[in-house]
Amino acid sequence: MPNNKIKILVAMSGGVDSSVAAALLVKAGFDVTGMFAVNYDEHASQDEALAKSCWRPDYQDALRVCAKLGIPLLRWDFKKEYQRDVLDYMYREYRAGRTPNPDVLCNKFVKFGAWLKKARALGFDLLVTGHYARIKKISANNFSLQMSKDKNKDQTYFLNQLSQTQLKYVIFPIGQYTKPQVRALAKKLDLPTAQKEESMGICFVGEVPMKEFLQKKIKTKPGKIVSTKREVLGEHTGLPFYTIGERVGANQHCHSEPASGRAKNLPDKTQPFYVVDKNFKKNELIVGEVNDVGLFKKEIIVSDVNWISGKSPKLPLKCLVRLRHRQELQKATIKYFNIQYSIFFDVPQRAVTPGQFAVFYKNRECLGGGVIK
């Protein structure tokens, strides 16, 4: 089919990556339409601190890019889907003491779920995003997810829950470029977002401190901070606000506030403390020094495993595993017994975090992943 007959919907975030993705497809002669999705609206919040517009400036940037490219821009509302499939899930996981990864669920259920479903229903052949990843077509209905050219920007970790049906109707145009190359293309094409900085914060919510965001739904419940040697060191503000491996010291070597919670009244020590475990029965935060034995695990269990190919590979499987975005790939063996998947690492892993995803790789292909228990 000629390119000009293929209808493509490009998800425009207002950032440089999706802008270049759209420009490349327009240049290639495809029938391109832009789409800006409103997934969360801070104006619905009763908290003035959170009531700053997050999506409107990005929407204006997307409008400018589409005007430059001469393509229309649709604006779709997916707030209900995002609340149900991402935010509600995130709150449940934090209440249970785990640290979820909302970006993974957003990709599975919203971006390549609700967005893709609506795009297909309206007659679009393909959905395009600005993710740093590549899709390799093996046959008409068989696709593999490959790491991007830019190893530092690679986003396959966040795409580990996608299926063959989703990959069939998706394109990642910038996966074959590095970030500097994308910036150079944006400048060459004179795109309005060429110099725009990277977006940070919670997916579609913005740069709001996680603890501040969570406290709107999760009550604080102070308790003791206890060392692995059973010394009482201070008081925490609530177990859901802390992550395994997070630094919680409040001494001369650790003045900054932790990513989630702030520890109170820790004694002055020469070494900071790190979260080793959480005891919900006693409401205790267990901490240790940086290399505390409790922070290291050689075996972990994962649930809700998704194999992107649609079927499990022959097990046991020697492969590479990543436990968090941008972590160096780790050698491991995946086994299945007692009705569960277990991962055995060649080298013990520090700060394995329940609720996050363990993602599997082999020969730069993302095989899938599962939730760390």
CATH of the domain at 362: 2.40.30.10
Instruction: Assess whether pLDDT exceeds 50 at residue 252.
Output: no
66 is catalytic: no
Nearest to 38 by CA among 68, 11, 17: 11
Looking at the structure, tell me whether residues 255 and 347 fall in a common domain: no
**How would residue 200 be classed by pLDDT, with cut points 50, 70 and 90?**
low
Write down the pLDDT at residue 41.
82
CATH of the domain at 244: 2.30.30.280
Rounded to whole angstroms, how far apart are CA atoms 214 and 241? 8
Looking at the structure, tell me whether residues 286 and 313 fall in a common domain: no
Looking at the structure, tell me whether residues 309 and 283 fall in a common domain: no
Looking at the structure, tell me whether residues 90 and 147 fall in a common domain: yes
CA distances (Å), origin 44, targets 37, 83, 103, 110, 180 = 16, 12, 21, 20, 37
Instruction: Assess whether pLDDT exceeds 70 at residue 46.
Output: no
Looking at the structure, tell me whether residues 312 and 203 fall in a common domain: no
Whole-model pTM: value is 0.90
Looking at the structure, tell me whether residues 196 and 224 fall in a common domain: no
Q: Cα 246 to chain center, whole Å? A: 18
Nearest to 138 by CA among 309, 314, 306: 309
Pairing between β-strand 31-38 and β-strand 317-322 as defined by DSSP bridges: unpaired
Looking at the structure, tell me whether residues 64 and 122 fall in a common domain: yes
Looking at the structure, tell me whether residues 202 and 180 fall in a common domain: yes
Instruction: Assess whether pLDDT exceeds 80 at residue 271.
Output: no
Instruction: Assess whether pLDDT exceeds 70 at residue 203.
Output: no
Rounded to whole angstroms, how far apart are CA atoms 147 and 160? 11
**How would residue 80 be classed by pLDDT, with cut points 50, 70 and 90?**
very high
Q: Which of 203, 254, 319, 366 is catalytic?
A: 203
Looking at the structure, tell me whether residues 310 and 361 fall in a common domain: yes
Cβ contacts of residue 180 below 8 Å, gap of 6+?
none
Rounded to whole angstroms, how far apart are CA atoms 36 and 55? 9
Q: Which of 54, 66, 106, 254 is catalytic?
A: 106
Instruction: Choose the weakest-confidence range: 78-82, 174-178, 249-253, 320-324.
Output: 249-253
pLDDT averaged over the chain?
Answer: 90
Rounded to whole angstroms, how far apart are CA atoms 248 and 259? 9
CATH of the domain at 163: 3.40.50.620
Domain boundary (290, 322, 346) is at: 290
Looking at the structure, tell me whether residues 204 and 344 fall in a common domain: no
Compute the half-sphere exposure of residue 278: CA atoms within 13 Å on the CB side of its CA. Answer: 24
Per-position b or e across 298-329, b if 16+ CB within 10 A of its CB: eebebeebbbbbeeeeeeebebbbbbbbeeeb
Amino acid at 332: A
Looking at the structure, tell me whether residues 55 and 176 fall in a common domain: yes
Looking at the structure, tell me whether residues 286 and 342 fall in a common domain: no
366 is catalytic: no
**In which element (H, E) is residue 179 found?**
helix 179-188
Extract the tokens encoding 235: 């008081």
Q: Which domain holds residue 303?
A: 296-372
Domain boundary (153, 182, 210) is at: 210
Residue percentage of the chain with pLDDT more than 90? 81
Environment class of residue 138 by beta-carbon count within 10 Å: exposed (0-12), middle (13-18) or buried (19+)?
A: exposed
Domain boundary (290, 310, 342) is at: 290
Number of domains in the chain: 3
pLDDT tens, 280-312? Answer: 999 999 999 999 999 999 999 999 999 999 999
